[in-house]
């Protein structure tokens, strides 16, 4: 009898961490900051995903990350992007539809799983591009840096440079760093955020808070002319460098660990996150 109980306890002990790995984005943490050093230099010799003057509705082919990236319940090794600022994880290329309010109840699953800061009808004009660099963090872990430099389809702001990076860390951290934004952003409502699908994702609201959703969301940045803002409030196009950091719980065999905001160094906990 004791052997049967011991065997059952062993099976449960093995199953718990495996089950805990199947996590949605509700267990991510969110933080903001203004650390300019988090911008990573992406040279012009990096992999070009979308080139200058690609126009409207352009998308890249599926591209290898060069490492395994955990996101939600899955691990991804490939991605693709489009001129609307969408980064889709996985081996299916992103389309160019659902660029307006991409995290709504009827659009969040389209071109997902996805990360989209721009979230509007974009355009690649002269000097615009999207590039990819596979590099390493200071601890030697892989980092994939997707650098966007795009304008809008609206001709009033088409020639502007909206420049930001989506940085994907080997530990599952997503870091969005805004490098350059003109005085006015698109004249449309916007939904910057990320999601696995309509049942699990975040959008950033006008108060710079991460709002979790389980059936899409109608949360948007208000319509109007967006001017440069500050970390303390105002619009979502920030002056200088601004960071949006999302860190997730990851499992190891004997414990869980959590990557704190602005840190790539884990610490171990003696509990299991269910």
Task: Give me the residue spans of the domains in the chain.
Answer: 24-247
Each residue's pLDDT tens digit, 80-118: 999 999 999 999 999 998 888 899 999 999 999 999 988
Q: What is the DSSP letter of 27?
A: G
Tokens 């319509």 belong to residue: 223
- Asked whether residue 149 carries a pLDDT value surpassing 80, the answer given is yes
The dihedral built from the CA positions of residue 147, 47, 150 and 219, taken in this order, carries a sign that is negative
The dihedral built from the CA positions of residue 116, 187, 50 and 137, taken in this order, carries a sign that is negative
Each residue's pLDDT tens digit, 240-264: 244 555 544 433 333 222 333 333 3
pTM of this structure? 0.77
Residue 125 CA to residue 159 CA, distance in Å, equals 7
What's the pLDDT at 116?
Answer: 93
* Spatial CA neighbour of 89 closest among 201, 243, 249: 201
Residue 229 CA to residue 237 CA, distance in Å, equals 6
């Amino acid at each position: 009898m004791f052997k049967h109980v011991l065997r059952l306890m062993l099976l449960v002990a093995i199953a718990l961490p495996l089950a805990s790995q199947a996590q949605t984005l509700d267990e991510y943490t969110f933080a903001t900051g203004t650390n300019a050093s988090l911008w990573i230099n992406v040279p012009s010799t990096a992999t070009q995903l979308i080139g200058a003057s690609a126009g409207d509705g352009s998308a890249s082919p599926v591209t290898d990350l060069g490492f395994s990236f955990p996101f939600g319940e899955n691990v991804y090794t490939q991605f693709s992007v489009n001129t609307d600022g969408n980064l889709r994880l996985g081996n299916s290329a992103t389309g160019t539809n659902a660029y307006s309010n991409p995290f709504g109840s009827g659009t969040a699953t389209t071109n997902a799983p996805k990360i989209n800061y721009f979230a509007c009808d974009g355009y690649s004009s002269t000097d615009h591009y999207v590039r990819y660099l596979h590099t390493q963090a200071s601890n030697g872990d892989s980092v994939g840096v997707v650098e966007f430099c795009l304008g809008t389809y609206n001709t009033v702001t088409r020639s502007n440079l909206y420049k930001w990076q989506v940085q994907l860390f080997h530990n599952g951290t997503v870091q969005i760093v805004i490098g350059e934004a003109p005085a006015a952003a698109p004249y449309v409502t916007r939904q910057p955020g990320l999601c696995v699908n309509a049942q699990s994702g975040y959008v950033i609201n006008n108060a710079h808070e991460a709002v979790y959703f389980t059936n899409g969301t109608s949360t948007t940045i208000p319509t109007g002319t967006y001017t440069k803002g500050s970390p303390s409030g105002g619009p979502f196009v920030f002056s200088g460098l601004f960071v949006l950091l999302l860190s997730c719980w990851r499992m190891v065999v004997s414990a869980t660990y959590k990557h704190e905001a602005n840190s790539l160094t884990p610490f171990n906990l003696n509990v299991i996150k269910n």
